[in-house]
Structure 1
């Protein structure tokens, strides 16, 4: 598993912030946030297996949350061996937030330090079925693009719910999503087989998973920040509201004009996360 590590001069290397991306994304999504946090802490942004520069699995059924969580435990053990971790924070967008729930919601796991602060970016224990169907319609499609610009335009068609971005911001988010295609042009970075287990999910599977995730959420002791795109189709207002009243009683911040999911590129979004993770008096 590849990962991107950021640390500025004078940063506290024992304070680690792990930033984990969504289902079809990769670790470079957090470049802007990582640059903001790096003067203060060590930032690790993994490419979850099957994505980015990480290896692809021989068995597509391995593309599931328990495997991802185990990989993160291995990453944290490696980081801890390099320099002892005394403070551990987690920022997870969509799938990355669910991985964070698996780790923060199971007190017996061999973490080098308990998760102190948890940022769940547009995700919760209950996921809206229609949004899962929408994602499944494009996930794993064998797309080839003639140029970076064409790829950026195509990615915007399926990701416009991310909210307003300048052309420069969107190109910066799109370039790490591309790899040279054998036949020329560019393809997407991830293994198309990540779609195999995702598309096999049935409504009853989702309901069973939801019950487990609520149980895990109830066991989270970390101070929790819940970010939501105000127009999100994955995280409903009802689920977000419930999350503020149970378990860690998440602090809820919503961003207008954004659906699923905030990219944490906009300065206002970055500042909310920065303040929550680094300000001692943050609520």
Structure 2
């Protein structure tokens, strides 16, 4: 199989590195100064010649899609399978612009850049049974893949996992700032907060217990952790905050999709 990657930014480039060695990889991105080793540049979409199956991965900014859609239609007419990781571009818009229903809309998150992400995938109307396996293999270098039956769920996925890494980073920034306010030197507060964030994530993955169980293991009755959690849980504040955060992000995802 040949993969044509449209857009070779951080996410696209990381995925391309995962494909090299198992298939031919072409990249079309006039703005990319460099492409991963083992990847071929495709200066013009009109000149692409491929023997065998072709998958096209759209990893450009959503606002750039209209500029390349017409040039991609001939590839669709030749039977190409399309995978879009563009935010806000619906399956209907992809189908209309490309002239094919062999499309998949996916939402990875930024840990995909190191192969530790999770992607949601929604099939287009004409996706073949064997196409799912091809899409799974394309997304595998980014991490886990979950197929959705309803495209509308993409907005909630975007709000939880697509935007989610930023929430954890922001929380850790706030934790470090609170540590500094409690008397730690600012660099030391950040070092402790960051190491605690990454260490807790690693423990959650390695242990396999529920997050509730892990929380209870470190919370002694009447202890320091219990005192901190009591503030976090007061009047349901942390739950209300996260509900508002996810609702806002999901609403914005729906707006971007029109």
TM-score normalised by L of structure 2: 0.33
Q: Larger Rg: 1 or 2?
A: 2
**Would you tell me which structure has more helix in proportion to its own residues?**
2
More relative contact order in 1 or in 2 (CA 8 Å, sep 6+)?
1
TM-score by length of 1: 0.31
